[in-house]
A and B are shown apart, each in its own frame.
Chain A
Amino acid sequence: MKCLIMHFQGSIVLGTLLLAGCQPPGHTVDIDHALNDYFVGDYSHAAQLLRPAASTTDENFVLNNVRLGSSYLAAYDLDGAEGAFLRAYDVMNSFGVNTGGQSAGAVLISESMKVWKGEPFERAMANFYLGLVYYIRHDYQNARAAFENALFKLRDYADSEDKKEDYRRQDSNFTIAYIMLGKALQRLGEDDLARANFDKAVKLQPSLRAVADYKLNAASNVLLVVDYGHGPQKETTFDNAVVGLTPTPRQAGPIPLPRVKVDGKYYELGGLDRPPVDLLALAQERQWQSIDTIRAIKSAVGTGLIAGGAYEGLRRHRDVGAAAALIGAGILLKASSQADVRDWEMLPRTVFILPLKLLPGAHDITINFPQENYSQSWRNVVAPAEGELTHYVRMTRMTNGEYDFPASLAHTEP
């Protein structure tokens, strides 16, 4: 009886550990408030709430920094955005970031004990935004490097045993990085490389012929980068052990196309309005996921334990208790461990890249998605006579309205 009580007490402690882990993964009250602020367009307050979490070096360090970077970028605080994305970039590009305890804890207790480095598409997007910050500042060398790194990361996620065909596909489907890399190279005067990257984007997605047009990009003096919709979110199934990325593009429906008005008149986008990427679709592709790494290892070890238990049970001098324990441990291991549901909630579904050619001077620009009733108007966007002004816009249901273009960005220097 005493033994049973001890087991019961132990089970409660063990169960608590297994179920609760350390804390709700990646969320606190402040972070939830910051996410709300972000989606209603109060980016500065979101950044203010995220700053303490982003400076805490815990397992959510990278996640909180990319969240902070998103908030700063939307608030046009480019120094803040650069700093936050750089901190995330440093850890994402580092290896051996998990200590032995974290790795074992992630396998046995809760996957959210490991340092969050994001799914491949999240890492690629972090590099993309870092590159975008440099591009906005006209620091094209660093923009080039960051966009290259976004593409680099994709190659990484092919297994070495993968067939060459899979490799090629992985190498070439993050179209927005190819387009922006082409633009950065074009601004650096590396025309051949710029053309090669534009061509890669078009080869991948022929509908991007207009966005990746060399001449059009060379002539552009206002670049609108428009984040639309919501990116994929992680979800657990009934047993909290399997995680998937939802919604699928079919569940979410087609991406609506933007319309742009300049000084009250519709700007002829002529094919520029095609969505260059669909993160919901990307997230369904195996090479863009790493979520089953731990699960695969646990499954293999669990299978080994079950097999070991079965062998023990079949031996002539068998130990039934040990066999049962091994099989039980194997089953538990396969089913245990809370899935890591942490994700970068601010990611959009797609990023529209709209290179415009406007007369030099101040303009009022309206971007809208008529199907969704999303609309933002920006006053005094100053098109330069030379070079290109980049304007980043985050569109959500709650951010409709009229805004003044930040004067400090009109003459952004590296």
Chain B
Amino acid sequence: MDSKILNSKFRCLLLGLLGLWAGGCASGPDPKAKNTALDAGNLVEITQKMAQSLAAEPRVQEVIQKEGPLKVVVEPVENHLRAEVLPRGPADAFTARLRVLLSKSAPESFTWIMNRDAFNSLRKKELETPGTHLDLGPSPESIQPRYALYAEFYSLANEDSEHRSSDYLCVYKLTDLQARTILWTDKYELKKVAVKAFLD
């Protein structure tokens, strides 16, 4: 074989390896990597739909007409997901964003009360940080909420050698704490699939 051709092939190989070295070195996980966990897009989608549903519920409107603004305590999501961790931050976010949306769209209809855990966590931070005087307002014990807004997330997850999939059922509820009745409930279902790639 002609040495010039060999030479050019060798250079191509060398350049190719250099390219791989430069392209693959010191880079972290691909930002396009996928998993089946609930993400920020799901948070926006779910809470918007739930806020619309809750605001449009005739029974809720009827009670507001009768009793005035509803005193509601917001609880974090209860994690019933299969093999899917839902840390405190996201668990709070999936109900807190709903509260924020309703505060904007119907500020006169609801009085929001901080839940006991969030209050205690803030109080602990305040006590631990010298020099800060965060006004937390009245303690949860001094205000009795009449209603509780919370959510329960369930999922069926499956994983095999080719993909991982999760079918989510997100149930939101507004319950009357005194009457132990559910004033409003709605659900959101979604399926997420992530396909495994080479080296996964």
Contact = CB atoms under 8 A, between A and B. Distances in A.
B1 A3 contact: no
Interface in B15-29: 17-29
B38 interface: no
Interface string A44-61: 000000000000111101
A86 B198 CA distance: 23
Interface string B83-105: 11111100000000000000000
A96 B30 contact: yes
A interface secondary structure, majority: helix
A185 to B, nearest CB: 12
Interface stretch (A148-156, A235-243, A375-383): A148-156
B164 A6 contact: no
Contacts of B3: 3
Given A86-B87, A89-B85, A106 B24 contact: yes
A261 B3 CA distance: 78
A390 to B, nearest CB: 18
Contacts of B85: 86, 89, 130, 134, 142, 145-146, 149
A183 interface: no
A189 interface: no
A319 interface: yes
A248 interface: no
A17 B21 contact: yes
Contacts of A159: 161
Given A94-B34, A148-B83, A105 B20 contact: yes
Contact of A96 (B1, B17, B37, B200): B200
Contacts of A152: 83, 157, 159
B85 to A, nearest CB: 5
Contacts of A134: 85
Contacts, number: 176
Contacts of B10: 7, 10
Given A102-B27, A105-B20, A115-B28, A322 B79 contact: no
Nearest to A149: B83
Contact of A95 (B6, B33, B80): B33
Given A95-B196, A98-B197, A114-B199, A13 B79 contact: no
Contacts of B34: 94-96
Interface string A343-362: 00000000000000000000
Residue among A59, A89, A102, A413 with most chain B CB within 10 A? A102
Contacts of A100: 23
Contacts of A321: 1, 6
B24 A104 contact: yes
A97 interface: yes
A255 interface: no
Interface residues of B, number: 56
B18 A97 contact: no
A91 interface: yes
Nearest to A329: B13
Interface in A215-235: none
Interface string A82-99: 100010011101111111
A3 B20 CA distance: 25
Contacts of B27: 58-59, 99, 101-102
A205 to B, nearest CB: 22
A108 B1 contact: no
A141 B79 contact: yes
A193 to B, nearest CB: 12
Q: B18, B82, B157, B200 — which one has the most chain A CB atoms within 10 A of its CB? A: B200
Contacts of B20: 101, 104-105, 108-109
B32 interface: yes
Contact of A93 (B14, B28, B37, B79): B37
B176 interface: no
Contacts of A93: 35-37, 164
B48 to A, nearest CB: 25
A335 B32 CA distance: 32
Given A57-B28, A95-B33, A158-B161, 10 more contacts: A57-B29, A58-B26, A90-B37, A95-B196, A99-B30, A113-B25, A114-B199, A145-B79, A145-B86, A156-B160
16 contacts: A10-B10, A23-B26, A58-B27, A86-B85, A86-B87, A104-B20, A105-B21, A109-B21, A113-B24, A117-B200, A141-B79, A142-B87, A146-B85, A156-B159, A159-B161, A321-B1
- Sort A-B residue pairs by CB-CB distance and give the 10 closest, nearest first: A101-B23, A321-B1, A105-B24, A57-B28, A22-B25, A101-B24, A148-B83, A94-B35, A96-B197, A94-B33
